[in-house]
Amino acid sequence: MILRGSLFIFIVLPLLAGCVTYKRIGGYEIYGLVIDSISLKPVAGVDVSARYEAVSMYGNHSEILVSGVTGDDGRFKMSVPKTTKWGGTGGLSGYVSEWPSLHYTKEGYCKMSVSFKDPTIKKYQDIELKLRSKDGTNCL
């Protein structure tokens, strides 16, 4: 009996921990405003994308869920469809971010991104994103 329990603990559980799991994500809207970080004026024509990100024992995985472009008023709106993605939480099965990260860029500006782990982001709606100009700015 002890041998059988040890077999389960030392062989079966580690194998199960390495299995890929899945997570249901999406089903919400993301919208907000992109502004210039210096002038604080809206920026039109900014490419904005919501990315799903996962880390597993097989490496990192990133996928664009939805993307859009800001209008003349600097506003964007995207509907993230409900979908099932691989990853999951716990053990070696990997990690899936509960919320997507937003990536935004425009010619002449630094590539920017923000995660919903950022304490300044409380919800998906009315997000204000600041875009930094490349003019003499270190984009790192």
Assign 90 a pLDDT band (cuts: 50, 70, 90): very low
pLDDT tens for 97-128 read 667 889 999 999 999 998 866 656 666 778 89
pLDDT digits (tens, 9 = 90+) for 1-51: 555 656 555 555 555 555 556 666 778 888 999 999 999 999 999 999 998
pTM given for the model: 0.72
Domains, the chain, ranges and CATH? 22-130 (2.60.40.1120)
Q: Which of 66, 60, 67 is nearest to 86 (CA)?
A: 60
Question: CA-to-CA distance for 99 and 45, rounded, in angstroms?
Answer: 24
Q: Which helix (H) or strand (E) holds 8?
A: none
The SS3 of residue 110 is coil
